[in-house]
DNA sequence: TTGCTCCTCACGTCACGTGAGGTGGC
DNA sequence: TTGCTCCTCACGTCACGTGAGGTGGC
């Protein structure tokens, strides 16, 4: 029986039979030494069917060749099927999550225009070591927060300068709001592994690595609060929980050209 | 900002940034013409994030580059997300089916030993053109069916021989059982495209192409009935319905060495 | 000089589909 | 001679990871 006839019985393509031959999964009963023609016997059909049945379960050809090797022990087969079951359960769960995210994006499109939801990324925050000062703002929003940055920034810069440190990127993070609406505001500058004496006003903090929803905002800082709202509702809508203190990374800052500022907002999620 | 710094912001691997550069998805702001060093700006971070967000939804890089091209029209994005949703629903459904099959195999392992469930394949039956005769057996099982083959086979062979036809593989198929347990048995031989005069006893039939569960059995024909049972319960257990008349293909037949016989059982399913 | 980062190929992944280019039997 | 089947490479698929082999700046 030549390869075409056997393939029709399979039913598979001749190419597949050559592939299985090459892998040693199913070798022809005979190969003509001059023409290279493969010939098969119907008695090889059960083996081909076993291969197809396992492949149909999504098991890889390498695994299949292990199971079909000499001793097709029932235990081994059972183990492989259980493994495959677990794999499938995992990938189905992962794809369901992905589907939920796709649907969240579709809903987000209906709602907002300013912040494209495709700007949001779930990632791990970078570990950052900063020298920070602290103050309490009477409430949220740029009108309350802005002055605090205005007051603390120069003080920190001065302290770092006196100690001979070069400040890196500016970073802010916020404690969760109190009942009276007031918010603890931390302002700091990245210092890498440089050291500085600390006291009641200046502290060194290593911001922890956590999972965050991150959005990068380009433009003047006063318009940032609507992004916060949208980012929070995106997080909620995608079935996650916002938890802990939000961070702002001032990736690029121009006192004179606020439209060119680039700010990253990070909201920790669980 | 060199590639490593930008990659840490991503967070992605430098290799990914080079890959995106190569695809034209995200090109560095500048490339040093002598060293080839890429340099990026934080202002490119939103674009990187958009790429990552879409990739996280399982959208291919080619599709992403279409959406990010010049006009990121909201309509286009929505269309792509809807397409992806449909894709995901399909693959999840397919994987659920696959999972059900894996579980059916696991259950089958618990039950039977004779017929390895990994012998069963779902496929489309081949179209076969046969010259057949018909008789009614009083019941199922080799004791009832065997004599019919014994009686009809020589008659068909003789008729074909007289007409100068070369008979191919022997094929049997069965009508569904009557209330009294009797079964119509069709016995025939493959004739390809050869022609022969038909009459009340000899008919030409083209067996239709249908989805079947197929098992290949190697050994004496009398032991075939337990395979039937097991095949039927496998079909049922895997959540399908057996429907229509079963076929047997006598792939290899030795009057003198029944242990070497190879028979394929096909049960149509819906 | 020693690390560190960067560069450009190029292989490997998984199971084949799909030519390309050539040969053997009716 | 014309179809048909068979053969052996070898590319392409998807998004990178992972060396190999080499270079530039502190």
Q: What is the pLDDT of residues A36-56, one digit of tens each?
A: 999 999 999 999 999 999 999
Q: What pLDDT, on the 0 to 100 scale, is given for residue B234?
A: 85
Residues 12-31 of A with CB under 7 A from strand C: 13, 15-16, 19
Chain A neighbors of B81, CB-CB under 8 A: 102, 105-106, 109
Residues of chain A with pLDDT under 50: none
Q: Is A229 helix (H, G, I), strand (E, B) or coil?
A: helix
The residue of chain A with its CA nearest to that of B56 is A98
Burial string for A100-129 (b: 16+ CB within 10 Å, else e) reads: ebbbbbbebbeebeebbbbbbbbbebeebe
| Predicted pLDDT of residue B151 | 94
How confident is the model at residue A72, as a pLDDT?
A: 67
Q: Please check whether residue B98 touches A, CB under 8 A.
A: yes
CB distance A205 to A186 below 8 Å:
yes
Q: What's the average pLDDT block by block, 10 residues per block, for chain B (270 residues)? A: 92 95 93 92 92 94 87 82 95 94 88 70 87 93 89 93 88 91 93 87 91 89 83 85 89 86 91
* Contact of B166 with B193, CB cutoff 8 Å: no
CA atoms within 13 Å, Cβ hemisphere of B222: 4
> Which residues 12-51 of chain B have a CB under 7 Å from nucleic chain C?
14, 18, 35-38
Rg, Å, chain A Cα set: 31
Strand C positions with any atom < 7 Å from protein CB?
5-8, 14-18, 23-25
Q: Are B26 and B67 in contact (CB under 8 A)?
A: no
Instruction: Map residue B125 onto helix, strand or coil.
Output: coil
- Does at least one atom of strand D sit less than 7 Å from the CB of B129? no
Give the number of other Cβ atoms within 10 Å of residue B64's Cβ. Answer: 23
Q: Quick one: pLDDT at residue B114?
A: 62
Count interface pairs A-B at CB distance under 8 A. Answer: 154
Mutant choice from B102, B171, B265 vs A, greatest count of A C-beta within 10 A: B102
CB A143 within 8 A of CB A225: no
**Which nucleotides in chain D lie less than 7 Å from some protein C-beta?**
5-8, 14-18, 23-25
Whether the CB-CB separation of B266 and B249 falls below 8 Å is answered with yes
């Amino acid at each position: 029986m030549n390869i075409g006839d056997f393939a029709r019985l399979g039913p598979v393509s001749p190419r597949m039979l050559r592939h299985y031959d090459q892998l040693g999964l199913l070798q022809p009963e005979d190969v003509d030494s001059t023409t290279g023609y493969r010939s098969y016997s119907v008695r090889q059909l059960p083996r081909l069917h076993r291969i197809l049945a396992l492949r149909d379960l999504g098991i890889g050809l390498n695994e299949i060749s292990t199971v079909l090797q000499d001793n097709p022990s029932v235990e081994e087969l059972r183990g492989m099927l259980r493994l495959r079951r677990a794999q499938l359960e995992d990938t189905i769960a992962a794809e369901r999550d992905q589907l939920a995210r796709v649907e969240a994006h579709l809903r987000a499109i209906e709602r907002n225009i300013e912040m494209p939801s495709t700007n949001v990324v779930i990632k791990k925050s970078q570990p950052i070591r900063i020298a920070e000062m602290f103050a309490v703002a009477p409430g949220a929003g740029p009108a309350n927060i802005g002055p605090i940055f205005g007051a603390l920034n120069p003080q920190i810069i001065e302290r770092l300068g006196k100690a001979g440190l070069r400040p890196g990127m500016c970073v802010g993070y916020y404690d969760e709001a109190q009942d009276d609406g007031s918010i603890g505001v931390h302002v700091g500058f990245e210092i890498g592994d440089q050291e500085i004496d600390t006291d009641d006003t200046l502290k060194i903090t290593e911001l922890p690595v956590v999972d965050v929803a991150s959005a990068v905002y380009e433009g003047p800082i006063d318009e940032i609060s609507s992004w916060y709202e949208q980012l929070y509702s995106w997080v909620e809508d995608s079935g996650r929980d916002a938890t802990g203190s939000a961070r702002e990374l001032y990736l690029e800052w121009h006192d004179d050209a606020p439209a060119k500022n680039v700010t990253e907002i990070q909201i920790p999620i669980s």
